[in-house]
Structures are given as C-alpha cells and as structure tokens.
Amino acid sequence: MSINYYNMLHVKKTFLVLILFSVQLLSTYAQTDKPIYLDSNAPIADRIEDALQRMTLEEKVAMTHAQSKFSSPGCARLGIPENWMSDGPHGIRAEVLWDEWYGASWTNDSCFAFPALTCLASTWNPEMAHLYGKSIGEEARYRNKNVLLGPGVNIYRTPLNGRNFEYMGEDPYLSSTMVVPYIQGVQSNGVAACVKHFALNNQEVDRDKINVVVDERTLREIYLPAFKAAVQEGKAWAIMGSYNQYKKEHCCHNEYLLNDILKKEWGFDGVVISDWGGVHDTRQAVLNGLDMEFGSWTNGLDWGTSNAYSNYYLANPYLKAIKNKEFGTKELDDKVRRILRLTFRTTMNRQRPYGSFNTPAHSLAGKTIAEEGMVLLKNKKNLLPLDKNKTQKILVVGENAIKRMTIGGGSSSLKVKYEISPLAGIKSLASPSSEVTFSMGYASPAVAEQDVVGAKADTTTYDAAAIHAAAVEAAKAADVVIYVGGLNKNDGQDCEGNDRASMGLPYEQDALINDLADVNKNIVVVLLSGNAVSMPWINKVPSVLEAWYAGSEAGNALASILFGDTNPSGKLPFTFPVSLADCGAHALGEYPGDGTDVHYNEGMNIGYRYTDKQKKAPLFPFGFGLSYTTFRVNQVTLSDKHLSKTGSIEVQATVTNTGDRAGKEVIQLYISDKKCSVERPVKELKGFTKVALAPGESKVVTFNIDESMLRFYSVKDHAWISEPGKFEAIIATSAEDIVAKKSFTLSL
C-alpha cells in the first residue's frame, strides 16, 4: 500500500500548529490569571462580565441592532447565540424571509392561535393568564424563539383604537393582575416576554409621531401600573418601546420613561427593544435607554431598502461616533450587559425545557380560555342556552360565522394549523336531527393573507341588498336565528395601523339586525370584536353574547357556550358606552389630536371612572357579565372600622349559587376615598376573586385591605401617598351592580 507523503506532511504541520496554539493559550491564561470560559454554573453576573471583556467594540455594537427582520447577532467567535424574536401575543408568527416581511413558505410553522388578550382579560382569572403564558411560551420555545413580542398592556382609552384587541382593558389593576402570571408562564419556558408598548400607545392614528400630553398623576395611576407590575412582580426580561412621543421624545428612546422610571426607579434589568422602525436618532438611542434597535427602513432609508441593517442608528453611525470620541463605551457596555443577561436567561440556559407545538393540550387550553372569557351581555326570557337535543331549524347569519379571524390585524396575524369557524362549531353541537343553514347577510372587502408572497384576496363579490334580503327572508322560517357579526381585522377596524371611524357596526349590520329582529323574535346576536360597539337594536333582541376573537378553537368554544356545555362566566374588561359622547377621552379630552399633540384632558376619567363622574349608566358596565345560573352575594362584613398604616382589615362576603347549574361569579372590590386633598375617582378596582360554585353551594370570599391600596400619586411629593380619613369598601359584581358598602377610617 502506497503512502501519500504530502498528506503525512500536512498532518504533521497541522499538529504542530495546534501545539503552538495551545502553548500560546496557556501562556495567555498564566499572564491574565483568568479562566478561558467561566463554568456554566457560575453566577450570570460573572459570566456576563467575562464575555463582555472578551468582546471587541465592533462585536458589542453589532449586538445592539437587528441583522434581519426578526433577529439580532450574538457573538459567534465566543459561542454566544443570536436572538430570535416572534410576533405576537396570540400565537407564534410564521417564519419570514431573512430580509422580507413575506413568509418563508415553511411547511411546519403553522401555529395554534390563542384568544385575543381582550378575551383573556375577560376571564378575570389569573390562572387562565398563567395557562395562556405557559402554553404560548411552549410554542415559542419549540420554534426556537427566545423573545416573544407580547403581551400588550396599553390601557383602553377610546373604543376606536385599532389595537385594543391586543390589550387587557381599561383598568390598571385588572391589567396588572392578569399580566404578571402571563409573563411568568412564558418565561418558565426560557423565553422572554417582551411587554409592550411602553408607553401611552393608545391610538393608531399618527402613532409614529403623535406627542401625548398627559398629567403626571394620570400617567402614574392609569397608564403605567401594568408595566410596573410586569417589571417588579412579573420580572419581565424585555420591554418594547412605543411609536408615539411623550415630552416631545419618541418613547423608544425617552429619557424620562426608560432611564428615569423604568431602569432607575423600577430597577428593570432586562432589555429595552424598539418597536419596528421606532428609532429616530442615534444620540437619543444611545443615551436615553434603548438597548436593541429593530425594524425596517430606519435612519432615512427608503421603504423596501434591502439588508440595510448596518445603516441603523445603533449600527455604523454608533460605531463611528464612538471612534470619533462622541460617546464613550459606558452606555454601550450597559446595553450589551443587558443583552447578554437576556441570552443567559434564554438560549444559554441549559435547564430550559424543549417546548411543544400545536398539541392537544394547547387546543384544550385555548378553548378553555375562550369559553371562560366570552361574556353574556343579555339573555331575556332565557333564550340561551339552546337545547342541543331538540330538533329545530337554526339559521346562522353573518359573514363572521365563516370569516377567518386569525389572519389580518397587523402584527398579530397568524398562519394557523386550523381554525374552527362559528358555523362549524354550531353544526358540530346542534342535534343531528336539526337543520342548520347559513345565510351571508352582509359581506366585507376580502383581505389578502399576510406574509404570503403573491397572496390575493378572494374576489367574490356580493350584491349587498340581495344577501340582506335573502337573510331576512330565511329568518322568517327559522326556529332560532344566530347572528354572528361584529367587527373583523380589516384596516380601519380591529387592526394595527389605523383606528375605527366610529362605534357603529360596519357593512350595514345595524340595519340587518333590526330587520332580522322584526321577523324573528328568537334571535341571538353574537359579536366578534376586540372593541365596544354601539347597539341601537339592543331593545329588539333577547340575547347578546360578546365572543371576542377566540383563536383556533373559536367555533368550538362559542358552540359550547350557546348550547350550554359551558356556563358563561366572562366579565367585561372595559366599559361599553352608549356612544362616543359617553367616553371621557372624547367628551373631555382630545382624539386623535392635531397631528402633532394629543391632550389627555380627561385625566383619569376613562371607562367606569368617567361613568361614575357623570352618573350616567353605560350600555354595559365594566366588570359586567351574566350567567345561566343565578347568584346571591350577602353577609358582607368588615373586620374592623379602623385601619392603621401598618395593619390590615378584612372584607368578607358570602356567595351562593341560587340556580340549578354550576357556574362562576366574579366578586369585585372597589375602594372609594370619601375626602381627599386632590380629586380622585369615585371608586377604583382594588381586588377581585372568581368563585366556582355548584348549585346551592356557598363560599366566603375574603379581601385584605391595607394602606398601600389607598394611595394616590402626589405630584408635589413625587411619591405614592395616602391621607387619613374616611374610605368605603365596595363589594360588587360589576362597576354598576353594587352589593354593599362598608365604611372605615385610615389613621396614619
């Protein structure tokens, strides 16, 4: 056998190089007296510093900005992995091309769609929030995403906001309570929750430039508490800045919001991520608290400019400025420390689970959350639940009964493995001997599927008058009409990028519902929406159900409620005003502003706070929701009428299921400050408990009240304070349905 002399010489040469490299490495170790790599069990802080001191200036700067639409670089030389982000709060977005918004046409990235966050908030159940976060976190982890771009907790200021469906309602306490377990569930998978949009992102009109003018008390008491809870209680690993401005600075690099409040006052140790394209200036981005820049076509680049990431404000312009001595490296090192901390918590955490994707467990979780969040608004003569064992003619009317609701809406649009329509769900539970028919009734312009190259909308056209008339005619012969309408995720409805034009139902639905009610008194109106809508027909229909956007299992969950397999227990997370004139932001404040500024002149008077101030009943109040059973709440007691600064008192109430089926009721605690040196809302939510009861069963609900629950933000003292005096503890089942009031005094 012959021997290749050249190959032998090459092997010897390679071996010699390796020996020399090892000697050099050992020599370096001896000189620096530092380990080459710290043990993986070493404290994260030590591992961060070890990595940081090994990185070059160029490697550090590279980590602070995107390298593709949804990723940022790590440091390959040191074995530090990339960061991969994913929209959104309701499901894991389809894979997109490296530098395009279009889908990558993978065949294994069809996700499960969870209900919209308005539906989750309507459960008034923190256990559901944890289940939601854990389940969606498992899907993100399985897809190897280490940052989930959600949840959203911006406050519901106006019913016109196109992104309200992504948020958790009008009340800071409810949002705070629900966001914490969501975050904990997500992050138990080694995936960072990126809470958004910080802060004051309450409209889509002029969102990229509008400057919000709001007083400090309102900022602190209404718009920041959910973010504060996310940071201090939920321990969120990431926060996303918002597009709008505050104090004439964009919120993605806002000195007061990001440095003074978020990082210094609240002690946030995670990363601040820009919204996509939300950065506008290198100097502000460097100095004002931003850590990672994401987006497309920033820094003056034209729409569609490809692979331009080196031009981003925190890319070459930042590197050049440091080399020119315009900046030191103090701010850069802080940004990189935070990014490394994110990495060690997620992709470099060897203990994180593997996740799971589109499992039966996730389907069950999504269906359970959807069922518990749907809100029964009206049920005259107990038309609902329908008897699934009865032979009957059921007419389903409305485009929303068949329209896909998991696509559209902006960044929350999803590519799903399946989506059960309301019509399919109804057919699956109705008696096999029943006749279930469908009539369109109305139609909206079709929308092309997002993230699909060359996607075209359905070009089917309808004669609006003809399909309206056909539905009304069909209703005459039906035993029951189930109308499935509301809003959808078209532009100008519940959709990112634009707001609604009015509170009315689009596509002439109000007229259609009126006409249907004229010919059939057994009509159930099912609304799919993420916003309050006006209901000029409310007195003509016996039953109304708010079913939200319920995700992949929407149809099955809806049918379960309609036919009584599940007893509805959802409560509204925001007020349904009769009209915009009954909304504080429109009656007292400005909307949408003058294109430069929008003034929140209404202050804290939004939602039920404004309703209380005006003493005018809304269409449906905050916290309202009916059941197929009945409850009695009585025996409300207060353990003491005097509260000290360091003590607490108990409020107890007995809840009894007085009906004939199992159900759940939400007992709500509001606090009223009867005399204060500053104007305060008439009452504010400070506690709630969801109670499950069998027929005839009673349970005692207990709330603990301490001094911290009575505080307001003092602009003069720049602190949260309380004042001695008289207060009321209010037990209720909605903001309008008061059970009892108990007075007590605070002594300081």
> Which strands form 642-644's sheet, in the order they lie side by side?
642-644, 738-747, 725-732, 663-673, 684-693
87, 109, 275, 291: which one is catalytic? 275
Count the alpha carbons within 13 Å of 622 in the hemisphere toward its beta carbon: 28
Q: Are 168 and 218 in contact (CB under 8 A)?
A: no
DSSP state of 124: -
Cβ neighbour number for residue 467 with a 10 Å cutoff: 18
Alpha carbon distance, N-terminus to C-terminus of the chain: 98
Structure tokens at 428: 């699956």
Q: In what side-by-side order are the strands of the sheet with 698-706?
A: 631-638, 648-657, 698-706
Q: How far is CA 362 from CA 115, 152, 184, 355, 551, in A?
A: 12, 21, 17, 11, 11
The tokens of 42 are what? Answer: 């070493």
- Burial degree of 287 (CB within 10 A; 0-12, 13-18, 19+): middle
Q: In 3D, which of 149, 163, 164, 173 has the Cα closest to residue 226?
A: 173
| 18 contacts: CB under 8 Å, gap ≥ 6 | none
Is residue 59 within 8 A of residue 76, CB to CB? The reply is: no
Q: Which of 246, 244, 242, 241 is nearest to 206 (CA)?
A: 244
HEC profile of 281-330: CHHHHHHCCCCEECCCCCCCCCCCCCCCHHHCCCCHHHHHHHHCCCCCCH
CA–CA dist 647, 707 (Å, integer): 8
Count the helices and strands in the chain (H runs, E runs): 18, 26
Phi/psi at 706 (5° precision): -125, 175
DSSP SS3 for 445? coil
Q: Which CA distances in Å does 567 have to 132, 459, 563, 628?
A: 20, 39, 9, 6
Q: Please tell me the distance from the alpha carbon of residue 651 to that of residue 668, in angstroms, as a whole number.
A: 11
DSSP string, 52-117: HHH--HHHHHHTTB-SBTTEE--BGGGTBPPEEEE--TTSPPPPB-TT-SSB---SS--BPPPPPH
- DSSP per residue, 193-213: EEEEEETT---STTTTTPEEE
Catalytic residue flag (residue 275): yes
Give the angle 630-633-639 at the CA atoms, nearest 5°: 165
Categorise residue 68: left if φ over 0, alpha if ψ from -120 to 50, beta otherwise: beta
Q: Which residues contact 6 (CB under 8 A, 6 or more apart)?
A: none
Residues with Cβ within 8 Å of 619's Cβ and at least 6 positions away in sequence, in order, are 532, 534, 535, 538, 576, 577, 578
**CA dist 730 → 107, 624, 667 (Å):** 54, 15, 10
* Residues with catalytic function: 275
